Structure 1
Amino acid sequence: MLCIDVHHHFFPVDLNKAKSNEEMGWKTPLGTTPWSPEVSLKAMDKSGTDIAILSVPALFMGSVSEDNRIITRERNLAMWTTVQAHPTRFRFFACLPFLDDIEGALKEIAFAFDELHAVGISLSSSYGIGSQATYIGDDKYDTIWAELHRRKAVVFLHGAQVASSTPNPHPFLCIPISEVPNETFKAAAHLVVTGRKRKYPEIKIILAHLGGTTLMLAPRVAVLSKHMGCRLSPEEMLEDFKSFYYETALSSYDATLACLDQFLSPERILYGTDFPAVSLDMAEWYTSNIREYYGKNKKLKMILGGNALSLFPSLKC
């Protein structure tokens, strides 16, 4: 059964992932850093993953500057080089420079698709720090969304690894555990209530980690945001939440999968692991839940690989 991992991270050396993990309170799993393609290939072979789509973690990437453009380009070229070395095992989502750099983002989109043949673009839930952070549905990013719509692009949306007012309520509840999933929800909700999701229907947006808290909070947004002045009806907002794709990394359990099945059609569920941000053992705990919940039926085949093939036709080559 074909298995395609749409949430598989690429850790360039300059990212210094072990150090950034420490700053967020996350304990780096043994054997995942320093990362190399061989680290991922070994894990993929053990888990039965045929193809992994690489993406750089959603980290704050500085500000509008030439240096930021250079770093972004280097990371995209490094992922492209990995794909060239292992064309049957890897593809990649290109990253963009700090999103306020509209011109730089548009240039990188063109380069990523036209020259590097990326399968999509990875975006963070917001750009900036603290009160200066801007969520991706903001009007100032509309030109970027219009270009992604024109290209009928796939976007992989990952929650920003940023701290709230209480970033670490407990050592066991650090930023990657308690903050990142809610950031994904906030970005998805922002795209819905601003009308950006509805305005650009040709963009296929994948929400990391089953959308974080999206499944639970979408009905809350639908009614209460209407009360606050959103022009969309509750039914329209829920329809837009259902138009996202949801991938399974670090989120698959019988209750969450049952909720997902009730909420949207099965062709919008994709398989992901979040390796090497987590160990293979951690990722496999969730994968085993998927296999146990769905059994050996058509839905399992769709989620593990069939849906990704439909979304990324180039993987058939």
Structure 2
Amino acid sequence: MLCIDVHHHFFPTDLKKESSNQKLGWKAVPGTLPWSPEVSLKAMDASGIDVAILSLPALNAGSVSDENRATARQRNLAMAAIARAHPTRFGFFACVPFLDDIKGVLEEVAYSLGVLQADGISLSSCYGEGMLATYIGDDRYDEVWAELHRRKAVVFLHGAQVASSTRIPHPSLCIPISEVPNETFKAAAHLVVTGRKRKYPDVKIILAHLGGTTPFLAPRVAVLSNHMGSPLTPEEMLEDFKSFYYDTALSAYDASLACIDNFVGHDRILFGTDFPAVGAQMAQWYTNHVRRHYESDSDKLNMVLGGTARKLFPRLRSPVYRT
């Protein structure tokens, strides 16, 4: 069975990942930077990963500008070139301009999916900074969701790397560790309580890191947000939470996998590593847990490692991909 990594990052040199890591409190992992396709291919071959879907941090800060549009286009062209150079090893989720630039976003969605043949679109949990941040289910983004729905697009939704009231509570609990997973939950909950998830069911949304805290907090949202004014019933909200896809990156462990198995079932779970944001050895720790957790049921293991991804990405059903 094909092993498909749906959470695999593309770090171009202009991203200046070394300096951004320092701002987040994250230590760079030896052997991952500077990144190149060869760095990923070496790690993929060592871990038995056949295909990686590249993505990069969404442009969740900035402004409506030609420069912002040009940055998104440049990065998408670069990922498309990698996918063309290694057609059976890489695909990519296209990034879009700052989401408030609705016209620019719609143009990039059309170009990326229609011309560059991207596998989907990468979005952040929120856009803007501090008190001005706007979450992904906001009314201002409805036109974007309508277009993604029309195209039946796959969306890779990643938590923004933003600080809470306590920026870094401990040096070993930096923003990528303690804040990013909760951002993913807040984005998923926002899409549910606003009704955006229910309104546009043909958008297939993958939540990074098993949705962060989503499987645990969904029942809390279902009852309490209904009390606070969401027009959806608790049962409807839980149904919508269960309609997301969840990737295993940096989250695979027996207890968390058992929880997500019970919440959505193996046909909504996708394999991911988060390489090269983390090192190959770190990613392998989670990969080993995925394989051990499902080792007694080869059908479930095959679905999680690649079967569900092949359903989401039709091109991966081609006989050129080994099984």
Please classify the TM superposition score into its range, dividing by the shorter chain length: over 0.9
Query: Is 1:59–1:161's contact at 8 Å kept on the other side of the alignment?
Result: no
2-structure distance, mates of 1:274, 1:48? 15
Identity %: 72
The corresponding residue for 2:14 is 14
1-structure distance, mates of 2:235, 2:60? 34
2-structure distance, mates of 1:261, 1:125? 24
Query: Is 1:184–1:207's contact at 8 Å kept on the other side of the alignment?
Result: yes
Instruction: Trace 1:149-228 onto structure 2 (pairs within 5 A).
Output: 149-228=149-228
The corresponding residue for 1:314 is 315
Structure 1 stretches of at least 4 aligned residues deviating more than 6 Å after TM superposition = none
TM-score normalised to the size of structure 1?
A: 0.99
Question: Which deviates more from structure 2 when the two are superposed, residues 111-120 or residues 58-67?
Answer: 58-67
Query: Is 1:155–1:203's contact at 8 Å kept on the other side of the alignment?
Result: yes
The corresponding residue for 1:114 is 114
Shift of 1:316: 2.0
2-structure distance, mates of 1:111, 1:169? 42
What CA deviation, in whole Å up to 9, does each residue of 1:280-317 have, x standing for no partner? 00000001011111105210000000110011011122
Instruction: Trace 1:254-269 onto structure 2 (pairs within 5 A).
Output: 254-269=254-269
1:187 maps to a residue whose letter is A
Matched, 1:93 2:74: no
Shift of 1:61: 3.9
Instruction: Trace 1:24-43 onto structure 2 (pairs within 5 A).
Output: 24-43=24-43
What CA deviation, in whole Å up to 9, does each residue of 1:33-70 have, x standing for no partner? 00000000000000000000000124534111110000
1:118 maps to a residue whose letter is A
Shift of 1:127: 0.3
Decide whether aligned partners of structure 1 residues 83 and 153 sit closer, same or farther in structure 2, where only a CA change above 3 A counts: same
What CA deviation, in whole Å up to 9, does each residue of 1:136-181 have, x standing for no partner? 1000000000000000000000000011111100000000000000
Q: List alignment gaps of at least 5 residues for structure 2.
A: 319-323
The corresponding residue for 2:304 is 303
Shift of 1:266: 1.5
What CA deviation, in whole Å up to 9, does each residue of 1:195-236 have, x standing for no partner? 000000000000000000101100000000011011000000
1:196 maps to a residue whose letter is R
1:48 maps to a residue whose letter is G
2-structure distance, mates of 1:291, 1:6? 16
TM-score normalised to the size of structure 2?
A: 0.97
1:25 maps to a residue whose letter is G
Query: Is 1:61–1:68's contact at 8 Å kept on the other side of the alignment?
Result: no
Q: List alignment gaps of at least 5 residues for structure 1.
A: none
SS in 2 for 1:98: coil
Question: Which deviates more from structure 2 when the two are superposed, residues 287-296 or residues 297-306?
Answer: 287-296
Decide whether aligned partners of structure 1 residues 129 and 61 sit closer, same or farther in structure 2, where only a CA change above 3 A counts: closer
2-structure distance, mates of 1:24, 1:261? 32
What CA deviation, in whole Å up to 9, does each residue of 1:250-307 have, x standing for no partner? 0000000010111012211000000000000000000101111110521000000011
What CA deviation, in whole Å up to 9, does each residue of 1:87-124 have, x standing for no partner? 01000000000000000000000000111000100000
